[in-house]
Amino acid sequence: MARLGVVGATGAVGTVTLELLAERGFEDVRAFASERSAGTRVAFGDSELEVEEATPAALAAGDLDLCLFSIGTAASRELVPAAADSGTVCIDKSSAYRLADGVPLVVPEVNGGRAVEHDGILANPNCSTIQLVCLLGPLHDAAGLRRVRLATYQSASGAGSDSMERLRSQDSVEGNVTMDWDFEGDESEEESKLRAETRKILELPELPFSATCVRVPVLVGHSQAIWVETERPLSPDGARDVLAASPSVRVSEPYPTPRDAVGGDDVLVGRIRRDPTVENGLVLFGCCDNLRKGAALNAIQIVEFLSVSGAPLAVRGRRGQYFNTAPESIVPPAASGGSGGRLRRP
């Protein structure tokens, strides 16, 4: 059984990570967080873990096979290299390494085969990107993507625990929509991340892509209205069939809501219809639990994917030995061609 560390264990994503690891049978798990939380206890299944301080020295001790990081970008830049240099495989959920050459940016259902190319660091995409590519990947395989446009409706949990607390304490009739990301020129960081990460994962570096991202007064669950144009014709019924057969996707009609998605592992999709304003146009509406598939679960699925793919779970010679995803649910890299193996529908 591999030795796992969860760094950022007391945050919104870290808490869900521990919950899911316990549910999926991981046992040898340690919790790390900032100095402020060190010494406190966090739930892990039916038991608790004492939180250790996440320092470069603690993470460089070489006694962890894998580490999942749910901390800010600046903290990841400091702590991830310390752990990786000691031989620990790091799965980082910040934006620090997502676009770095040589760092696989992985959604196992879409480009799982890229995970095995890691050199000690793998990146978990932005929550909005994960749910988007779970829908776009199968459509691209079926009909080729020519253009993507989307509008997002993102929950407070995407901005962290403090933002959730603010929403909880606010009178519900005072809810507002905002765009609370940093802006770079005309675009928010979230909008440009979505484009760059989608292009990297789908290996479509020139894909025309335009997004408007919006924060809405919903606690958990991100939603997206997606307009796609495909190279080849694909009817709404054809798209529905493709999506219904795709891993981690559930068709939910007439339309899904964030509340339907919360607590589940799938990306829900509905309102699959023709966009009559363009050639080969489709419109969809997707919802996902951004803390689960959008963050914690995707990173754990990367761990599970590595476990059965034969890739080293720790660089410099150590190799973990655990199999929490049924091996038959994975198409091995060699069999799937293209960008390699991927999770398939159980």
DSSP structure class, residue 124: P
Query: Contact region for ligand 2RA (CB under 6 A) — 36-44, 77-85, 104-112, 120-128?
Result: 120-128
Please identify every residue annotated as catalytic. Answer: 127, 222
Task: Give the Cα separation of 326 and 343 in Å (integer).
Answer: 10
Report helix, strand or coil for 111.
helix
Question: What binding mask, one character per residue, do residues 217-256 give for ligand 2RA by CB under 6 A, x or -?
Answer: ----------------------------------------
124 binds ligand 2RA (CB under 6 A): no
The answer to whether 194 and 132 have CB atoms below 8 angstroms apart is yes
Torsion, Cα 125 324 22 4, to 10 degrees, reads -70
For residue 157, which of 22, 39, 261, 304 has the smallest C-alpha distance? 261
Q: Is residue 221 left, alpha or beta, with left meaning phi > 0 and alpha meaning psi from -120 to 50?
A: left
Question: What binding mask, one character per residue, do residues 139-178 give for ligand 2RA by CB under 6 A, x or -?
Answer: ---------------x---xx-------------------
Q: Cβ-count burial of 254 within 10 angstroms (0-12 exposed, 13-18 middle, 19+ buried)?
A: exposed
| Closer residue to ligand 2RA (CB): 76 or 154 | 154
| Closer residue to ligand 2RA (CB): 188 or 339 | 188
Give the interface size with ligand 2RA as a residue count (CB under 6 A).
7
DSSP structure class, residue 113: G
Which one of residues 15, 76, 128, 252 is an interface residue with ligand 2RA (CB under 6 A)?
A: 128
Question: What binding mask, one character per residue, do residues 189-208 give for ligand 2RA by CB under 6 A, x or -?
Answer: -x------------------
Minimum Å gap between C-beta 154 and ligand 2RA is: 4
Peptide bond into 236 cis (omega under 30): no
Six-digit token pair at 76? Answer: 């990841």
Minimum Å gap between C-beta 36 and ligand 2RA is: 21
Binding residues among 82-111 for ligand 2RA as defined by CB under 6 A = none
Alpha helices by DSSP H, the chain: 12-23, 56-59, 73-85, 108-111, 127-143, 161-169, 189-202, 236-244, 258-261, 297-309, 333-336
Minimum Å gap between C-beta 93 and ligand 2RA is: 8
Six-digit token pair at 159? Answer: 């901005």
Minimum Å gap between C-beta 128 and ligand 2RA is: 5
| Closer residue to ligand 2RA (CB): 154 or 198 | 154
Determine the residue with CB nearest ligand 2RA.
158
Minimum Å gap between C-beta 340 and ligand 2RA is: 26
Minimum Å gap between C-beta 9 and ligand 2RA is: 17
| Closer residue to ligand 2RA (CB): 88 or 94 | 94
**Terminal-to-terminal C-alpha distance of the chain:** 24
Q: Which residues of this chain interact with ligand 2RA, rule CB under 6 A? A: 126-128, 154, 158-159, 190
